[in-house]
Amino acid sequence: MTHESLDELPEGKVVEHIRSVLVASGALPKRDEQMVRLEGHVKDLVTSHSSAEGRKVLHRYATWHLLRRLRRRSRGKETTYYQLQVARQHLRAGVYLLDWLKGQNLTLATCRQADLERWIASDDARLRQEAGHVVRWALAQEITRDLSFPAERWNGPSQPMDDEARWTIARRLLHDDTLKPEDRLAGLLLLLYAQWPAAISRLTVDHIEETDGAVRIRLGAVPVELPEHVAELALQQVEVRRSHAVLGRTDSPWLFPGGQPGRPISAWAMGERLRKLGIRLAEARSAARFQLATELPAAVLARTLGIDITVAVKWQRAAAGDWGAYAAEISHRTSTS
């Protein structure tokens, strides 16, 4: 039995479950299933394009840019559902743009700025922002010239953030014993520490540390000490982490085990569970990051939340946090103590 033999069967939950059982039992090696799905999606889209020039461009863009960048960013970890969706959107945006150009008897090489702007302003334009990635990549690869498609600058959250509603839900998760403990913990990680469902779903029991009476969770390079009630939920989840679909008496390493043996809950399923608690994922995460950015310097924010330093700097600027005196304040604390 091999992965390739299972790939030949019709797709469905039955085949996925059989595969996960074989992987969990060691009969099959682990592989990045999301990446495999993306590679298959790329192959189907590229081969289905009507023009030879378009297939060539799409193959280069997908293989040497999208897939290569995704593997580099994953750093050996499995691709997440959201990473898969973003890559698919960028690829579809390239297909839409190339299809329109073909209808105008144009290619990326012969397209001019006036043509590009005509497409952007037309009703046929789909995934405009994502198409900008394709155009800028084509410029860098010298496939096209004299085109301008500026990237949109992020100036902070685009949606209003109801901080009071966020704290109302957080208080409910802290004290409502009728809710499932795992849902309460996952919701609090989003509301308090701005963790996206994809990141929450991939936490393992090793991310929870208990030393000297303090419970810490490692979301980034530096562990974060959890408040008392959140710490109790975290320790409780470690104790009951066994998946419903484990084989024999094998413990699951995942803090939030999924329905398939040896795999965590999917990011999509985690997001659905949080939505059922009344949490608006993007809005709540933005509110949490916004508040944390006003309280912590960018470097500390990046190390504790596990985000890139450039992202932390952008959030600090959006929150208008002034950290010019932070170093002096730390120095004063040190000298005083």
Asked whether residue 119 falls in the same domain as residue 206, the answer is no
Asked whether residue 167 falls in the same domain as residue 270, the answer is yes
Out of 140, 173, 192, a domain closes at 140
Q: What is the CATH number of the domain that holds 175?
A: 3.90.15
Asked whether residue 187 falls in the same domain as residue 122, the answer is no
Whether the per-residue pLDDT at 3 is higher than 60: the answer is yes
pLDDT of residue 266: 87
* SS3 at position 237: helix
Select the more confidently predicted residue: 223 or 156.
223
Asked whether residue 178 falls in the same domain as residue 285, the answer is yes
pLDDT of residue 329: 52
Q: What mean pLDDT is reported for the chain? A: 85
CA distance linking residue 174 with residue 229, whole number of Å? 6
Q: How many domains does the chain have?
A: 2
pLDDT of residue 51: 86
Out of 79, 107, 140, a domain closes at 140
Residue 10 is assigned to a structural domain of this protein: no
Q: What is the pLDDT of residues 19-41, one digit of tens each?
A: 988 988 889 998 888 888 889 88
- Distances 19 to 2, 26, 330 between C-alpha atoms, Å: 9, 11, 53
Structure token digits, residue 296 = 């912590």
Number of neighbours of residue 123 by Cβ within 10 angstroms: 5
Asked whether residue 105 falls in the same domain as residue 191, the answer is no
Residue 305 is assigned to a structural domain of this protein: no
Q: What is the pLDDT of residues 175-199, one digit of tens each?
A: 999 999 999 999 999 999 999 998 9
Asked whether residue 126 falls in the same domain as residue 178, the answer is no
- Describe the strand order of the beta sheet including 208-211 as a list of residue ranges: 208-211, 214-217, 224-225
CA distance linking residue 200 with residue 194, whole number of Å? 10
Per the structure, the complete domain to which residue 136 belongs is given by: 25-140
